A and B are shown apart, each in its own frame.
Chain A
Amino acid sequence: MSKEEKKPFSQTMAEWRQFVYNPRSGEFLGRTAKSWGLILLFYLVFYGFLAALFTFTMWVMLQTLSGDIPKYRDRISSPGLMISPKPVTALEFYFNKSDSKSYAEYVSTLKQFLKSYDDSKQSKNIACTAGKLFEQNEDRAVKQACQFNRTKLGSCSGVEDDTFGYAKGTPCVLVKMNRIIGLKPEGEPHIQCSPKEEGKVQITYFPDGGMIDLMYFPYYGKKLHADYLQPLVAVQLAINSSITKEDVTIECKIMGSPNLRNEDDRDKFLGRISFKVQMSE
């Protein structure tokens, strides 16, 4: 009420204290102990029931799912491209070829990433027929994986050069295509990279022509296809030494396959990726 006079502060405080604990009625925050007990018990039961119900409905929902493949895959009809190593901030490589610390992070990431491609790890994998989709029988509980030897990555394999060319000013970047269950590329998919400005950089692909072999497809999912290794394309950039200290923007795209999209307005990583490299000496 506008007409009501302002209560003195001490009275307000006293009222608050009264509210917090009222010694006469034994009320604490407006309720007696019994009342608090009842209300807490009620909410315990209420929320207990809700939690049980939620758990049950979640369980029912999860029962309808298969452990092997997701129910729907329509949100990822076409794969994205990604590179390794991934710089911490944005997709921008900054390094000094004479300072091994400046690229140590990239090198260790690459080493780590390629570990699973070591020959020793691929003993179970089989050599598949190149150029053909490797479709496997449905009743096979465990799907076989095709071998992908590191040696296919040539000078970017890290076998001969354990700095992946960073020390020489010819850094390697691995381009990979996102795994999507059941994806069967058509045609002859290959990675094609180009610098934004012509002539600043020379690009070498491993395997040759940046080819992605069809034998690595389709993918059957983490559970069925535990040993699966996705095919990689290594891109070695020979940066023109005259343009050091300048940014080089490189865009890679997946080409040669009609069902792999690479021109989406909204998704800048769908079948393509662009990254920057700046090298100094």
Chain B
Amino acid sequence: GLTSARAAEILARDGPNALTPPKSTPEIIKFLKQMVGGFSILLWVGALLCWIAFGIQIAQGVASAFDNLYLGVVLALVVILTGIFAYYQEAKSTNIMASFSKMIPQQALVIRDGEKKEVPAEQLVVGDMVEIKGGDRIPADIRLIFAQGCKVDNSSLTGESEPQSRSCDFTHENPLETKNIAFYSTTCLEASPFLPGTATGMVINTGDHTIIGRIASLASGVGNEKTPIAIEIEHFVHIVAGVAVSIGVLFFIIAVSMKYKVLDSIIFLIGIIVANVPEGLLATVTVSLSLTAKRMAKKNCLVKNLEAVETLGSTSIICSDKTGTLTQNRMTVAHLWFDDQIYSADTSEEQTTQSFDQSSQSWAALSKIVTLCNRAEFKPGQENVPIMKRVVVGDASETALLKFAEVILGDVMGIRKRNRKLAEIPFNSTNKFQLSIHETEDPNDKRFLLVMKGAPERILERCSTIMINGEEQPLDRERAEAFQTAYMELGGLGERVLGFCHLYLPEDEFPDTYPFDTDSMNFPTSNLCFVGLLSMIDPPRSTVPDAVSKCRSAGIKVIMVTGDHPITAKAIAKSVGIISANSETVEDIAKRLNIPVEQVNKQDARAAVINGMELKDMTTEQLDEILINHSEIVFARTSPQQKLIIVEGCQRQDAVVAVTGDGVNDSPALKKADIGIAMGIAGSDAAKNAADMILLDDNFASIVTGVEEGRLIFDNLKKTIAYTLTKNIAELCPFLIYIIASIPLPIGTITILFIDLGTDIIPSVALAYEKAESDIMNRRPRHKKKDRLVNEQLAVYSYLQIGILQSVGAFLAYFTVYAEQGWLPNTLLGLRVSWEDDYYNDIEDSYGQEWTRYQRTYLQWSGYTAFFVSITIQQVADLIIRKTRRNSLFQQGLLRNKVIWVGIFSQIAIALILCYGLGSVTALNFTPLRVQYWFVAMPYAILIWVYDEIRKLFIRQYPGSWWDKNMYY
């Protein structure tokens, strides 16, 4: 090995043996981004205008100048606080990730200075000699110089799920193919308890220079795309900002041309901006998204990026892995063939019994072979663990057989003990069979039992008889054909088939003391008795078929992408419904009609199974054609690199693509996808890093639950935004009327902020808890470019209809307060200038009374409060109508979403506190209000509700009508 000094030298040169984490944006940049994103710019402008106005007024010696200073500070605070909040939310979701990816530092056994040492894998350098044993993760790219029974699981790198043996022979030019190189982050397998694989090798690449490192850097090269919801929110911000700026500028011009002073016009402009911008909305959206993210995490979808929550909802194509995602990722006995009949076994996750007919003597014989001719063993100490969850030492097929036997017979280890094993020939690739000889547990039967299993055709070759109903019968042509049919049928299901046979050795030829020798094979291995076939498959998860059919009704195309054999892939696709029962592939049609594949009209085939080799030779156009023409597609034998091509193909169809992946080399595809989903259990860290979402249980069905949540949040965000936008008009109108009609200001800027950031916050979050109106999984995914979050209908209905209704209601309250104090509406018109004159202390009201400036101001605050209360009351109605967009409230149920009621009570409580609790704090501009003013806008609130019910009724009654097109948002 190297000397420590030399190692240190190389370490200094090459850097540590670790992957450079993807470059992350500095925290301060992230923070500043939150400060200038969305509406912040607009509010900064507002704050700046406030300070300018303050500066001018202070120079002029205006007494109320400080109001503007405070308002500016408040606006700046609003921006900073919402920025901090958004940053905090963002950071929190990132932290979940950070904790997730944290790992125990890996240790490597290295030979340095001629001694074996444990060092952290990070400190390995090129030229180091390392020792690896079964179960270890390989600490760097190494060239093996000694290997014994060493197998590696390269699945994270190449996607091949079969373990691959490694030796010190150089077998191929390509480093990925040659047998004497083991790659960083792959695992050395613990092949069997008897043969712990060990290897020694020399480090040839470290850190970013390893194959994995190169792929990882490739992944970071794939750019991050904006999530659909980010695009939608940007679109929405543009609309609102556009409205705010244009109304602001328009009224600035109107004000100036109406001979208002420029300074006053600027102050109006501030008011218009503040009224137009839904200050609390972006925070609300963040909260809603993170609530959904939490809900999804409970359903095993861990979302890394909050916005991905919704992306999942707009998904139109899911490219799913097979192994582990659609399937249980373990071999399980699926079918049996004995007594000339095929039996199906239960393959569900939680099996505790098997229900096929077990009365036949043939089954007794078969089960004995299954039990005895098996080297797999349960790890000790798992007596209380369900059989299916126990850890087994042994390969996948043997594990399947062991568990199968344990479920039916129970205590397999005990049976084996009672039937002592005398000799054994393990499976090898030349024999293709496994054989063992046992004593029988029947003390009266002194014969030995020879049991054998293996490739069915090889087993059959060695048999001369076959067991039917417990009787040995000669294996004639008819029987052999029956066997062939069964074998083909099971093979056609994509299952791995094993044949089983046995022979009772005659007592006279093989006495008690007979020395069995496996090398010389001093026992018969032909003319055996064929007992049956067993076939195994990695069965689909039981929840998957349902989830796939849900996807189908939700208009989501599910594409299976697997490295497995096409037949297996197709079989699984059929069993989970990715290929539906009655659809055919081109090959199926060709077979049915007995014509060559080329003559089949491709349009007739709904399904397609594409081989990776075919894919390799395809042009983009051909791939597009396949993706468009076939609705049920399986890609088999694909390399993970091809996944990226498939994803890009789907994205060319304008689809929102979700991709699942676990391997390191899936990471480019995960990054490229609109939403990359990494597997939480099987996934590699690189995949988790590249993904937007982590599926904690690796279960496809969880994706579908996620989709449902994502769609729901999109609908609910729509409702939240509609709710929030509505009152902006009621906040804006006062300013416009104030400028045009010169009435005393109906509502102040500070009061507006109390609505936007006070009473309205909890209700708008409460809408995130709203249940779906109808089965959202029964409609097509939204079109990225057509179905907008904030569409024209939503804006128009909120702004021009409900918003105006609210304003009218609030103005009624305003005029009522003034009129009942002596200021009739006609007196108020054109009053503004003298009303706001600080030295005009004897303005006459409609009844001849004279008011000082402060008395007027106090009345003005009462007006603010009344206006505020009216908006609040009408926002309660607004909140209730926003529960549904199409259904009647009575269909939706008023009590199903209890959080809405929390919202309503909080809204009213906050208004009460502001009005009566803080009514004496002058800076807040609230006054205790007469109780009856709370009810002035009530008729309008009721009208809002009635009108919206009518709107929904017409939409339901006349779908597709003019009303539906213009009123449904």
Contacts and interface: CB of A to CB of B under 8 A. Distances in A.
Nearest to B841: A269
B580 interface: no
A58 B825 contact: yes
Contact of B841 (A178, A219, A225): A178
A80 B855 contact: yes
B816 A53 contact: no
B842 A80 contact: yes
Contact of A181 (B223, B847, B852, B943): B847
Contacts of A46: 801
Given A46-B801, A50-B808, A76-B855, A65 B841 contact: no
Contact of B922 (A54, A89, A266): A266
Interface of B: 223, 225-226, 231, 800-801, 804-805, 808, 811-812, 815-816, 819-822, 824-825, 839-842, 844-855, 858-859, 862, 922, 930, 936, 939, 943, 962, 966
Interface stretch (A20-28, A67-75, A248-256): A67-75
Contacts of A62: 819, 824-825
Given A62-B824, A70-B849, 7 more contacts: A38-B962, A54-B808, A80-B841, A179-B848, A269-B841, A269-B852, A270-B855
Nearest to A79: B850
B839 A181 contact: no
A6 interface: no
Contacts of B922: 266
A91 B824 CA distance: 29
A175 B846 CA distance: 23
A72 B932 CA distance: 13
A267 B858 CA distance: 10
A54 B943 CA distance: 12
Nearest to B936: A61
Minimum-distance CB pairs A-B, first 5: A222-B848, A80-B852, A70-B822, A178-B850, A267-B854
24 contacts: A2-B223, A2-B226, A46-B801, A50-B805, A54-B811, A61-B812, A61-B815, A65-B819, A73-B821, A75-B821, A75-B855, A75-B858, A76-B851, A79-B850, A80-B841, A80-B842, A81-B841, A178-B842, A178-B851, A181-B849, A222-B846, A269-B841, A269-B852, A269-B854
Given A50-B804, A90-B839, A76 B815 contact: no
A210 to B, nearest CB: 18
B512 to A, nearest CB: 79
A223 B822 CA distance: 13
Contacts of B822: 70, 73
Interface in A32-55: 38-39, 42-43, 46-47, 50, 53-54
Contacts of A223: 847-848
Nearest to A80: B852
Given A47-B804, A50-B805, A69-B847, A268 B821 contact: no
Interface in A86-122: 86, 89-91
A79 B855 CA distance: 10
A268 B842 contact: no
A58 B848 contact: no
Contacts of A90: 839
A176 interface: yes
A61 B922 CA distance: 29
B42 to A, nearest CB: 23
B850 A86 contact: no
A221 interface: yes
Given A76-B849, A266-B854, A65 B820 contact: yes
Contacts of B804: 47, 50
A141 interface: no
A72 B820 contact: yes
B853 A70 contact: no
Nearest to A42: B966
A91 B839 contact: yes
Interface in A159-173: none
B115 to A, nearest CB: 55
B225 A221 contact: no
B852 A267 contact: yes
Nearest to B823: A70
A86 B853 CA distance: 14
Contacts of A72: 820-821, 930
A53 to B, nearest CB: 7
A6 to B, nearest CB: 16
A39 B936 CA distance: 31
Given A53-B808, A267-B854, A1 B225 contact: yes
Contacts of B849: 70, 73, 76, 178-181, 219, 221
Interface in A171-191: 176, 178-181
A1 B226 contact: yes
A129 interface: no
A58 B840 contact: no
A185 B597 CA distance: 110
A178 B811 CA distance: 29
A268 B859 contact: no
Contacts of B821: 70-73, 75
Contacts of A75: 821, 851, 855, 858-859, 862
B477 to A, nearest CB: 65
A201 interface: no
A65 to B, nearest CB: 6
A234 interface: no
B816 A61 contact: yes
Contacts of A270: 852, 854-855
Contacts of A68: 847
Nearest to A3: B225
Contacts of A156: none
Interface string A223-241: 1010010000000000000
Contacts of B850: 79-80, 82, 178-180
Contacts of A3: 223, 225
Contacts of B842: 80, 82, 176, 178
A53 B225 CA distance: 50
A53 B942 CA distance: 13
Contacts of B231: 1
A252 to B, nearest CB: 12
Contacts of A42: 966
Contacts of A79: 850
A57 interface: yes
Nearest to A65: B819
Contact of A70 (B225, B816, B845): B845
B815 to A, nearest CB: 6
B854 A268 contact: yes
A50 B825 CA distance: 18
A1 to B, nearest CB: 7
A145 interface: no
A116 B819 CA distance: 28
A270 B841 CA distance: 9
A277 interface: no
Contacts of B844: 179, 222
Nearest to A183: B849
A193 interface: no
